[in-house]
Amino acid sequence: MRTPSAVELRLGVLAVSVLHDVDVDPSENGVVLPGWPDVWVPWSECRRALAGHDPESEEGRTRLAAWLLARRWCADVGPVELRDMLRPVGLPVDHFLHPGLDWVCERVLGDVLDLGFGAVGLDGNDLDKVVLVPPSALDHAGIDAGAAWLDAAAYLEDMGRLAVTMARRDARGQLRPIGDCDVVTLLGARSLRTGLAADHDGLGAAVVPMRRRGWTQLALIDPAFGPAAARATSPAERGFDRPLLITADEVTQVPDGGRPQLALRENLDEPWLRDVLYR
């Protein structure tokens, strides 16, 4: 994976400025986001934002724009208000908007789902949108990420309990966003995973092809639906392209080409024999 040069980063930032309406002032060592206060983003942080993507590609520009806008918005609201705006966000580990390992506050067992910080109310065009918060924004605001995560995790557990109640009332076991948590985020709640697993003798399953919708009654879902729906969903809103197996502690994807119904039947008789990752 090639590291972009300062010239390539400058070109990428200028493209972001034009295409995403981001005010920037590039310099030799980084970029200034003008405002009150000004926000300094060095080229090293821009490389972190890109995570290996070409700064002049569509994916690279989207990642860079999201990062720079979040840095600007977080500085605009100030540390006290930002602390109150923080929310948990879950993303597939390979999601193209994933901010990187230093963003991760918790990784759910199974190595497919990461949890980190977002913030609601930052985007003036959509105040209900939860914006991914770069770790550098918390550092510059002086926010204790560890303490803030305890509050975010408690909020997530509350939303998880509501989500499992709503899913049980739905004939197809649909999962929908609750509060400021989308469906992928809700899978990070132990309360939700425990409820789904308990409803299926310790091992539940779900199809979550998009971040804002999921289904838990797989007997009513065409096996081709999940992968097809994931491909039809924009990369930013995409969830998991394969069905998920869920226990109270773990979320895993079925193997590529696997059939979750068979996996469930094979494991329900002796669920204690399943491999579980411990840390």
* pLDDT at residue number 172: 86
Rg (CA), the chain: 20
Task: Let me know whether 28 and 165 are in one domain.
Answer: no
13-63 pLDDT, tens digit each: 999 999 998 999 998 899 999 998 999 999 999 999 998 889 989 999 999
On whether the CB atoms of residues 190 and 248 are closer than 8 A, the answer is yes
Same domain flag for 206 and 233: yes
Provide the domain limits for residue 96.
78-279
| Domain end among 77, 100, 117 | 77
Cβ-in-10-Å burial (0-12, 13-18, 19+) of 199 comes to middle
In this structure, the answer to whether residues 59 and 98 fall within a common structural domain is no
Backbone angles phi, psi at 142, to 5 degrees: 70, 30
Same domain, 114 and 51: no
Nearest to 134 by CA among 48, 210, 203: 48
Domain boundary among 55, 77, 99: 77
- Judged on CB neighbours under 10 Å (0-12, 13-18, 19+), 48 is buried
- Shared domain for 35 and 161, answered yes or no, is no
The band of 259, judged by pLDDT with boundaries at 50, 70 and 90, is: low
Same domain? 38 vs 163: no
pLDDT score of 171? 87
Q: Are residues 180 and 227 in the same domain?
A: yes
Alpha-carbon dihedral sign for residues 183, 189, 193, 199:
negative
The three-state secondary structure class of 210 is: strand
Is 120 within 8 Å of 129 (Cβ atoms)? yes
pLDDT tens-digit readout, 150-166: 999 999 999 999 999 99
pLDDT digits (tens, 9 = 90+) for 138-148: 999 999 999 99
- Tell whether omega for the bond before 37 is within 30 degrees of 0, i.e. cis: yes
- Please tell me whether residues 110 and 67 are part of one structural domain: no
Distance of alpha carbon 98 from alpha carbon 91, whole angstroms: 7
Q: Which of 34, 61, 77 is the last residue in one of the domains?
A: 77
Same domain, 150 and 245: yes
For residues 24 and 87, state if they share a domain: no
On whether both 25 and 153 belong to a single domain, the answer is no
User: What single DSSP character describes residue 33?
Assistant: E
- State whether 61 and 181 are in the same domain: no
**How many domains would you assign to the chain?**
2
Q: What is the pLDDT confidence band of residue 278, given thresholds at 50, 70 and 90?
A: very low
pTM of the model: 0.88
Q: Check if the beta carbon of residue 88 is closer than 8 Å to that of residue 181.
A: yes
Cβ atoms within 10 Å, residue 201: 12
CB 102 within 8 A of CB 135: yes
- Please give the Cα distance from 102 to 117 (Å, whole number): 11
Q: What is the structure's pLDDT at 1?
A: 59
Mean pLDDT of 85-111: 96
